[in-house]
Structure 1
Amino acid sequence: MSKSLTKLWLRGLRRLVAGQVETIRPPKPRPAAKPARPKTVRSKLKSGAAKKAATAPRPTARPDMRESRVRPRASAWARGKWDRSYHSAPPAAGRFVNHLAYALYVPPRTSLGRLPLVVMLHGCQQSADEFAQGTRMNLLADRYGFAVLYPEQSKHDHPHRCWNWYDDSTSGGGGEAASIVSLIRAMLAEHQFDAERVYLAGMSAGAGLSALLAIRYPDLFAAVGLHSGVVFGEANSAIGAMDVMRRGSRTDPITLIDAALDVRDYPGMPAVILHGELDSVVTAKNAEQLTQQFLRLNGFVDAAGKPRAGEVREETHPDGVVCDYFKNGRRVVKTSVVRGLGHSWAGGDDTVAFHSSKGPDSSAVLWEFFKHQRRSSEATRAAFVA
């Protein structure tokens, strides 16, 4: 039965993503039509000019590629150190060997202080290298001084490199979630990154797993960013995942959160939620429901979804609508629905699949939010639950 569900999941995923990618590779140029009257064309040039035009080398056509607004186009690896390796995580259910591939980017050091760490979880049909190039997060790492960790899903665990965020073992905090937590803790110990400034972000399936990690391991992360993500707690199978992606949750999203944990014991989790209004792979209703869930997790609303305390600021920009939610003077949730964007990372390098130059630069939006957040045990907890 599980095999047949997996086949259905894969076939459905292929149908959904086919044609949904805002492809960033320029279309193949069509051969230029031959002029109907070559003599007429040549007659417009003087003989000497015609001779030079005929013998001069033709310029190579260059595709019109829009660049991320972080800075002019540069290497995705920027100026720091890019390492590829594997992490041996503790054995997981059904696995005798549990190796997790990853890439780590460390910028040139400009100070002796501990670096913050941003963990980036790619989406389906992506690799760590592609996610680094498409999001350009490494360029921001150079500018602002933080390390970036890119765990990478194996094709053995999913043929399209999708994280299994809906799997029972993972959704409870085990499985792939536990492997990534093990990797993060190993990186903190090995490189002495700042444990109070660990941030997590993901795209699509990576956002689904990021939300799960933020909920199951809140003491590890200072903030989370979810781009094109899926509402938490509804799906527990491949078929259920497809349904939630298309329609959002049929269950009240706050009810799902309250069923998963006691929010009174939850330390809070600042969150940025970004979504394309034209996303036909993961409907934008998921962004609305994720917003409600993280407002609940941060003590902004009660079990009925009614505001307890705080302030909401909504702004309309050419790129879309942005809502900021403040509690005790701190921004706890930020939501951005990007106008005209499909299932792609907004403001990225649109030469890479599932990234678009449309909208605000998501990487810059994330870091601007992250840099104000710190996980400092009781002091941070008091600010969220008060």
Structure 2
Amino acid sequence: MNKRFTSTWLRGLTKLAQIQTKLVRNALKQNAAKAASASAKASKVGKAKAQAAKIDPLGLRSEGLSPVKPPRRKAVRPKAASDSGPATQSPRAAATGMRKSGAGRGAVESRVRPARDAWLKGDWTRSFHSAPPAPGDLVSHLAYGMYLPPVRGGGKRPLVVMLHGCKQTSEEFAQGTRMNALADEYGFAVLYPEQSRHAHAHRCWHWYDRSERAGDQEARAIVSLVQAVIARENIDPSRVYVAGMSAGGGMATMLAVRYPEVFAAVAVHSGPVFGDAHSAISALATMRRGTRDDPLAVIADVPEFAAHPGMPAIIVHGQSDDVVSPDNAGQLALQFVRLNRFVDASGLLLHGTERESALPGLVRRDWMLDDVPLVRLCRIEHLRHAWSGGDGAIPFHVSNGPESSRLIFDFFRLHRRITTEGYPLAQQVLAV
């Protein structure tokens, strides 16, 4: 009895041991399979990362992220200073497009040739001006940049005021237009007022809004800055010019109409017709199609028209502009023709001559007085909403096409503002 029980107990124990051994082996096989699968997956991911690294240096794709472009480095701005002591930078800084790329490394040149445009000879200053505040405001600070080429002789020099467009800064406009390189060549000073983001999220000038807290305030601040610079920098007050692009062009027209006693000539690049828009919504409509009214009647309705002495003007516009319709350029030119009393209210030519010529890359139309153009319209072929002949590395500027900055200053050189008895704000034409 005892032997039979012992034998049965041993057989059961042996069978239990076999079952446990089998379970352990199965568990080991499953773990080995999982480990092999994980190893294969890790190897596959590693190969994918290695392959992605070849085409994606930031390693974003291997992490399931969308690759992004690295931010474009900007020139470091000095801390703002008052008008009495503007901060000064090397000409290899913001105004020139030259930026330090690190310790022991050279400066990064503009991608546009000739490279001499990146190596200017003068000084760039960055500061702010305390302008007369708008009603209800305590202070009004207008930021600006300024370029002064080396002094030539002891005489006073001209001043060109440059007004940027939307989504631009004074530094970008200086580099994009390359006006400072031209200043080195001819010896004039260049002033770049800058719209604040607090006034407009996209830094647009309120060229369409003449209210005291918008366009009117901005125009007064710019004129106040110009007058301060004239007094401080030995500027010839009879040779102060204003130029602008897009929204800056609209503000340049406003300044030319409202302050003819300050400016000798105006240049509008890719800008809107004047006096048609009175709100942001109507401004977009004007940009898209120009004015639906007679542009001669629109300018005649401006309060300053009756006593305006006239203003030499050059209008530059791209024929393929899809932001500000090229129709604006033709209408704006007619408005300045009327403002300079070339034509009557019906458009009949009263004096002077009209001439059209085709030049490489553009068609030019002039309204001449004594063989000198008082109003000039330049239509540039194939140009979209951009400054022609500038630095193509900067948005809203292209390197190809006629050099707009030279077209503009060559026109400015023909004109200066003088004072004559009985007509204190008359403009005089100077052929050079």
TM-score by length of 2: 0.71
The verdict on how the C-alpha distance between 1:214 and 1:63 changes in structure 2, with shifts beyond 3 A counting, is closer
Q: CA deviation at 1:318?
A: 3.5
CA contact (8 A) 1:165 1:171 kept: no
Q: CA deviation at 1:173?
A: 7.0
Paired residues for 1:1-386 under 5 Å: 65-67=111-113, 72-76=114-118, 78-169=120-211, 174-261=216-303, 263-378=305-420, 381=426
Aligned residues: 322
Q: CA deviation at 1:75?
A: 4.9
3-state SS, counterpart of residue 416 of structure 2: coil
* Equivalent position amino acid for 2:426 in 1: R
CA contact (8 A) 1:164 1:170 kept: no
Provide the rounded CA distance (Å) in 2 between the counterparts of 1:325 and 1:113: 32
**CA offset digits 1:226-245 (Å, max 9, x no partner):** 00011110111000100000
**CA offset digits 1:159-183 (Å, max 9, x no partner):** 1111111113269972100110110
TM-score by length of 1: 0.79
Q: CA deviation at 1:94?
A: 4.6
Provide the rounded CA distance (Å) in 1 between the counterparts of 2:182 and 2:151: 14
Task: Note the residue ranges of structure 1 that are not aligned, 5 or more in a row.
Answer: 1-29, 32-61
The verdict on how the C-alpha distance between 1:77 and 1:170 changes in structure 2, with shifts beyond 3 A counting, is farther
**CA offset digits 1:111-161 (Å, max 9, x no partner):** 100010000000001100000001111111111010000000111111111
3-state SS, counterpart of residue 110 of structure 1: coil
The verdict on how the C-alpha distance between 1:226 and 1:382 changes in structure 2, with shifts beyond 3 A counting, is closer
**CA offset digits 1:26-80 (Å, max 9, x no partner):** xxxx96xxxxxxxxxxxxxxxxxxxxxxxxxxxxxx999553xxxx223557110
Provide the rounded CA distance (Å) in 2 between the counterparts of 1:64 and 1:99: 31
The verdict on how the C-alpha distance between 1:160 and 1:190 changes in structure 2, with shifts beyond 3 A counting, is same
Provide the rounded CA distance (Å) in 2 between the counterparts of 1:93 and 1:337: 41
Structure 1 stretches (4+) deviating beyond 4 angstroms?
Answer: 62-66, 170-173
Provide the rounded CA distance (Å) in 1 between the counterparts of 2:195 and 2:234: 25
Provide the rounded CA distance (Å) in 2 between the counterparts of 1:84 and 1:117: 17
Provide the rounded CA distance (Å) in 1 between the counterparts of 2:232 and 2:270: 32
Q: CA deviation at 1:286?
A: 0.3
Q: CA deviation at 1:305?
A: 1.4
* Equivalent position amino acid for 2:217 in 1: G
CA contact (8 A) 2:109 2:115 kept: no
Q: CA deviation at 1:359?
A: 2.0
Q: Which has the larger radius of gyration?
A: 2
CA contact (8 A) 1:230 1:244 kept: yes
The verdict on how the C-alpha distance between 1:246 and 1:170 changes in structure 2, with shifts beyond 3 A counting, is farther
The verdict on how the C-alpha distance between 1:76 and 1:92 changes in structure 2, with shifts beyond 3 A counting, is farther
CA contact (8 A) 2:135 2:213 kept: no
**CA offset digits 1:354-373 (Å, max 9, x no partner):** 00123210100111111111
Greater relative contact order (CA < 8 Å, ≥ 6 in sequence): 1
Q: Which residue of 2 aligns with 1:45?
A: none
Q: CA deviation at 1:273?
A: 0.2
The verdict on how the C-alpha distance between 1:192 and 1:170 changes in structure 2, with shifts beyond 3 A counting, is farther
Provide the rounded CA distance (Å) in 1 between the counterparts of 2:320 and 2:346: 29
Q: CA deviation at 1:96?
A: 2.3
Provide the rounded CA distance (Å) in 2 between the counterparts of 1:383 and 1:181: 21
The verdict on how the C-alpha distance between 1:290 and 1:170 changes in structure 2, with shifts beyond 3 A counting, is farther
Provide the rounded CA distance (Å) in 2 between the counterparts of 1:364 and 1:91: 35
Q: Which residue of 2 aligns with 1:57?
A: none
3-state SS, counterpart of residue 374 of structure 1: strand
Provide the rounded CA distance (Å) in 2 between the counterparts of 1:226 and 1:296: 16
Task: Note the residue ranges of structure 2 that are not aligned, 5 or more in a row.
Answer: 1-53, 56-107
CA contact (8 A) 2:109 2:118 kept: no
Provide the rounded CA distance (Å) in 1 between the counterparts of 2:237 and 2:354: 30
The verdict on how the C-alpha distance between 1:117 and 1:170 changes in structure 2, with shifts beyond 3 A counting, is farther
The verdict on how the C-alpha distance between 1:64 and 1:169 changes in structure 2, with shifts beyond 3 A counting, is closer
3-state SS, counterpart of residue 410 of structure 2: helix
Q: CA deviation at 1:377?
A: 2.1
Q: Which moved further from structure 2: 168-177 or 199-208?
A: 168-177
CA contact (8 A) 1:171 1:212 kept: no
Provide the rounded CA distance (Å) in 2 between the counterparts of 1:177 and 1:116: 20
3-state SS, counterpart of residue 321 of structure 2: coil
